Amino acid sequence: MKNPPERYRCAALSVVKHDYVPRGVASHPRFELVVVADDANQPAWVHERNQKFADEYKVPYVRDVERALSEHNVQVAVVSSQVERHCDLSIRAIERGVHVVQDKPMSTTVAECDRLLAAIERKPVKFLMWNRNFLPAVLHARELINAGSIGKPYAIHVDFYFAKDAGPPKGSRPPAAKPMDWQEHQIKAHADGSDGGLAARPMGELQIEGIYPLAYIRMLTGASVRRVFARTARHFHQVNVDNDVDDLGTVSLEMDGGLMGTLCIGRIGKASHPDIGEIKLHVLGERGGLVISEARPEAAIYYRGQPPAEYRHRRLAVDNDYLQLDNLLAALEGGGETILDARGSRDICATVEAALTSARTGRCETVQ
């Protein structure tokens, strides 16, 4: 890119879910948040969250996405809306030649992902799906694999258990209680950041969080998933039972080049791990194996009177946000794609969709 700007002008298009995405973007010295925007017809709670974020960053909040993109000369849109609006907001930015950083998941439907891909084909911009691929331990795994430490990988497994609650436990409410409303629950869950499934339509853990471990697999192997066999369960939380979406899932993966693997994922409840959860990578290669704890490096802090909700183990030296934005910069200014681009994100959505189908049919399913 000739004459890149000193700082890219960014618009946060809806900040109702994971504000860590626009915060991460804004924290990089080459990106500047200049406006928050959303559609005027959004409910009051959406505007309230957007306004609060805009006030914190001392930027305007504009209730008109297209006007904000145009009047503020936006170059990068950061999308963190309700899930069903992810692709729509991103596409509207893409159609104006605006690059996009989007919160996960890309969408809950492959059709929406394909619509976004088509938009990028018509208007080539850079797309970065927010991810965890630059965590220290994941980078370390990549370094070891690329150095040939275990030879050519032939199997990769990710066990991805989030030790978070999601409302009352399964079976803890009276039988006559009204089923829990998904969106209502997610809106309340914003208070502790466990609102990754913020959407009008319920979504299970494979859809909410599956992109993270599947993105690890994609980055570490370079392989696409071709076929899956999956099982899912509503095992922990009443809201998942009431809305018939999984909070526990297991997926066997068949990938390019004969590579095999598995994904085990769940929102397993706060009591089930002393910290945020157990996240491990196991990689087997022709000359050995790797066992990687995603949480390392970490330090442990304990003290009398420590609140139960406070994590005892704290992750250290996490530069994931900065490195993701560096990666985006490299794509913007040097060409090439981001670490998790639209095509990769779409393939991950298709993998999840196939897994959910497999869980229903009890058969292996091909990834579309």
Partner 1 sequence: MTRFAVVGVGAQAAALARIAPRLRGGSITAVVEPDKATAKRVAELLKVSVWATSTGELHEKHDREFDAWAAAMPLGLVLAPHGNRPFDMNPGNGKDWLWAHAFRFLPSVTTVKESLGSGKLGAPGLVRIHHWTPQAARQSLLSQLDLACWLIDQRPATLFARQAKGYVQVHLGFADDRMAVLDCATLAEGDEHYSLSVIGSSGAAYADDHHNMQLVFGGGHPQAIRTLQGDKALLAALQEFIDATAARRSPSCGFAELKRALRLDEHVEASLTSGEAVSLSGGES
- Judged by CB under 8 A, which stretch of 121-129, 200-208, 310-318, 357-365 contacts partner 1? 357-365
202 binds partner 1 (CB under 8 A): no
327 vs 358, beta carbon nearer partner 1? 358
182 vs 236, beta carbon nearer partner 1? 236
232 binds partner 1 (CB under 8 A): yes
18 binds partner 1 (CB under 8 A): no
In sequence order, the β-bridge partners of residue 71 are: none
- Judged by CB under 8 A, which stretch of 97-105, 113-121, 125-133, 356-364 contacts partner 1? 356-364
Structure tokens at 338: 């981001």
By CB under 8 A, the residues from 252 to 281 that bind partner 1 are 252, 254, 258, 260, 262, 264, 266, 268-269, 271-273, 278, 280
- Contact pick of 276, 284, 323, 330 for partner 1 (by CB under 8 A): 284
Q: How many CB atoms lie within 10 A of CB 329?
A: 18
Contact 22, 37 (CB under 8 A): no
17 vs 234, beta carbon nearer partner 1? 234
Nearest Cα neighbor of 222 from 193, 255, 192 is: 255
154 binds partner 1 (CB under 8 A): yes
Q: How many CB atoms lie within 10 A of CB 300?
A: 10
235 binds partner 1 (CB under 8 A): yes
- Contact pick of 8, 127, 134, 161 for partner 1 (by CB under 8 A): 161
**Minimum distance from CB of 316 to partner 1 (Å)?**
18
> Footprint of partner 1 on this chain (CB under 8 A)?
154-155, 157, 159, 161, 163, 169-170, 229, 231-236, 248, 250, 252, 254, 258, 260, 262, 264, 266, 268-269, 271-273, 278, 280, 282, 284, 287-289, 291, 293, 362-364
